[in-house]
């Protein structure tokens, strides 16, 4: 396969291509550039040499400047959107490296959207109960994806560096996520697939009169108030309100309707008890952010809003509902294990991706930047 040509494209061209795909990450939509406005951004298009008018791939590149030097790390989160099953990935990646080097990049980081292994909820539950395997990666998977090995082998041969093993939640996009398959399933199938506690909590929320509605930009402030409350309770640093205002404006109004972006609110007797952000691109839907009140936790607003987002994803034709990142710990004494236990209750599966890979273009600057980031 000969190399494709690559050039900058407009946001409209970028969005139209994404909208025509079966699925793509919302982090690769042109709107995400506006969310990450502190980075320089560029929409790239790959073109077939035999048909220069045919767009065969797109990528959102975010440029992070190295301190005191006008050189950049070029970052493609959960992308680019190319044919990852191609016999020769170099046909896509070689022109990418050349283009980004011309733009002043000293290195490239990308996250191929390719799964490597999958574990069912039952396998995870049994592993936690057994207590013999403290890491998910040590547990025998239920499915091994052949494309994962093929892609990683090609990347190594092309000079890309494999992800560094990290504890807990590392910088960048998560390598382990939890997903609920939706394709070919009904609402009854989804409910039956959940554990008894989830089914009971969804039923309880309904019985107690929890109402879940889709919100709009006017609900961002209320969502953020609940999100800050959640952050204090769960001991993480919350993002500021303007971040979410910018996210809604950028993601909900993209050209070609390439992204479906929503806020959901769960109320009980007039009180906001849970609020979440939901995103869909093609057949892939995500639970992106969530918040819940400390008061009235017994009305199970979080379960009610998750169920509504899941059933709306199903109704929209999505094939997967993605609850995003988990750590790989299965140690019952690790505080992170509660998150995987909560998500396992949905009856879905843990999925490992190939992770974020780096290509140093200037080894000295890349090494210096890598050391700088690790010391932060």
DSSP string, 299-321: G-HHHHHHHHHHHHHHHTT-SEE
For 278, counting Cβ atoms within 10 Å of its Cβ (0-12 exposed, 13-18 middle, 19+ buried), the class is buried
- Let me know if residue 155 belongs to a domain: no
Instruction: Name the domain count of the chain.
Output: 2
pLDDT for residue 339 is more than 90: no
For residue 260 the two structure tokens come to 């479906």
Provide the pLDDT for residue 167.
38
Provide the pLDDT for residue 1.
60
Give yes or no: residues 226 and 295 share one domain. yes
Provide the pLDDT for residue 334.
84
Tell me the per-residue pLDDT of 299-319, one tens digit each, with 9 for 90 and over: 999 999 999 999 999 999 999
Give yes or no: residues 255 and 130 share one domain. yes
- Let me know if residue 154 belongs to a domain: no
User: Which residue in 268, 267, 258, 265 sits closest to 220, CA to CA?
Assistant: 265
Per-residue pLDDT, averaged over 244-262, amounts to 94
Confidence of residue 57 (pLDDT cuts 50, 70, 90): very high
Determine the length of the chain: 376
Give yes or no: residues 119 and 51 share one domain. no
- Let me know if residue 160 belongs to a domain: no
Q: Look-up: residue for tokens 């795909």?
A: 21
Give yes or no: residues 271 and 294 share one domain. yes
Give yes or no: residues 275 and 180 share one domain. yes
Provide the pLDDT for residue 169.
32
Look at 56 and 366; give whichever has higher pLDDT.
56
Provide the pLDDT for residue 337.
86
Tell me the per-residue pLDDT of 1-55, one tens digit each, with 9 for 90 and over: 679 999 999 999 999 999 999 999 999 999 999 999 899 999 999 999 888 889 9
Give yes or no: residues 170 and 263 share one domain. yes
Give yes or no: residues 248 and 129 share one domain. yes
- H-only helix segments in 158-195: 187-193
Burial readout 8-39 (b: 16 or more C-beta within 10 A, e: otherwise):
ebebebbbbbbbebebbbbbbbbbbbbbbeeb
- Between CA 4 and CA 91 the distance in angstroms is 6
- In percent, how much of the chain has pLDDT > 90? 81
Helix/strand number for the chain, H first, E second: 12, 15
Give yes or no: residues 368 and 341 share one domain. no
- Let me know if residue 156 belongs to a domain: no
Question: Among 272-286, 313-327, 332-346, whose mean pLDDT is lowest?
Answer: 332-346
- Show Cβ contacts of residue 279 under 8 Å, excluding neighbours closer than 6 positions: 26, 251, 259, 260, 261, 262, 285, 286, 288
CB contact at 8 A, 76 and 109: yes
Give yes or no: residues 133 and 233 share one domain. yes
Give yes or no: residues 314 and 365 share one domain. no
Domain that holds residue 85: 5-111+356-374
For residue 267 the two structure tokens come to 């109320």
- Between CA 340 and CA 164 the distance in angstroms is 22
CATH number, position 290: 3.40.630.30
Tell me the per-residue pLDDT of 189-224, one tens digit each, with 9 for 90 and over: 999 999 999 999 999 999 999 999 999 999 999 999
CB contact at 8 A, 283 and 181: no
Q: In what order do the strands lie in the sheet with 349-353?
A: 143-144, 115-120, 349-353, 176-181, 320-325, 284-292, 271-281, 260-268, 211-214
Tell me the per-residue pLDDT of 78-127, one tens digit each, with 9 for 90 and over: 999 999 999 999 999 999 999 999 999 999 999 999 999 999 999 999 99
- In percent, how much of the chain has pLDDT > 70? 97
Give yes or no: residues 348 and 362 share one domain. no
């Amino acid at each position: 396969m000969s190399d494709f040509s690559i050039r900058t494209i407009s946001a409209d061209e970028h969005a139209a291509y994404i909208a025509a795909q079966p699925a793509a990450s919302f982090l690769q939509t042109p709107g995400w550039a506006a969310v990450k406005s502190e980075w320089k951004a560029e929409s790239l298009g790959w073109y077939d040499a035999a048909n220069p008018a045919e767009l065969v791939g797109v990528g959102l590149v975010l440029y992070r400047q190295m301190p005191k030097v006008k050189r950049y790390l070029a970052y493609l989160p959960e992308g680019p959107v190319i044919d990852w099953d191609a016999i020769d990935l170099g046909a896509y990646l070689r022109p990418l490296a050349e283009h980004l080097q011309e733009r002043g990049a000293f290195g490239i980081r990308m996250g191929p959207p390719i799964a490597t292994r999958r574990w069912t909820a039952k396998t995870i539950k049994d592993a936690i109960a057994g207590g013999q395997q403290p890491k998910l990666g040590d547990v025998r998977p239920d499915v091994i994806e052949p494309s994962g090995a093929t892609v990683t082998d090609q990347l190594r041969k092309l000079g890309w560096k494999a992800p560094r093993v990290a504890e807990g939640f590392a910088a960048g996009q998560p390598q382990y996520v939890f997903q609920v398959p939706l394709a070919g399933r009904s609402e009854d199938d989804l409910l039956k697939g959940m554990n008894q506690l989830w089914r009971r909590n969804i039923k309880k929320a309904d019985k107690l009169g929890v109402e879940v509605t889709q919100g709009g930009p006017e609900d961002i402030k209320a969502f953020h108030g609940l999100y800050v409350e959640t952050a204090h309770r769960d001991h993480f640093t919350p993002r500021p309100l303007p971040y979410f205002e910018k996210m809604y404006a950028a993601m909900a109004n993209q050209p070609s309707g390439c992204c479906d972006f929503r806020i959901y609110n769960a109320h009980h007797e007039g009180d906001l008890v849970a609020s979440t952000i939901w995103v869909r691109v093609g057949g892939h839907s995500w639970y992106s952010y969530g918040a819940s009140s400390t008061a009235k936790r017994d009305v199970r607003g979080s379960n009610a809003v998750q169920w509504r987002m899941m059933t709306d994803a199903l109704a929209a034709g999505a094939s997967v509902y993605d609850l995003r990142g988990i750590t790989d710990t299965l140690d019952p004494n690790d505080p992170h294990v509660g998150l995987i236990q909560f998500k396992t209750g949905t009856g879905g599966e843990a999925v490992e991706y190939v992770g974020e890979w780096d290509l140093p273009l200037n080894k000295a600057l890349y090494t210096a930047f890598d050391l700088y980031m690790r010391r932060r």
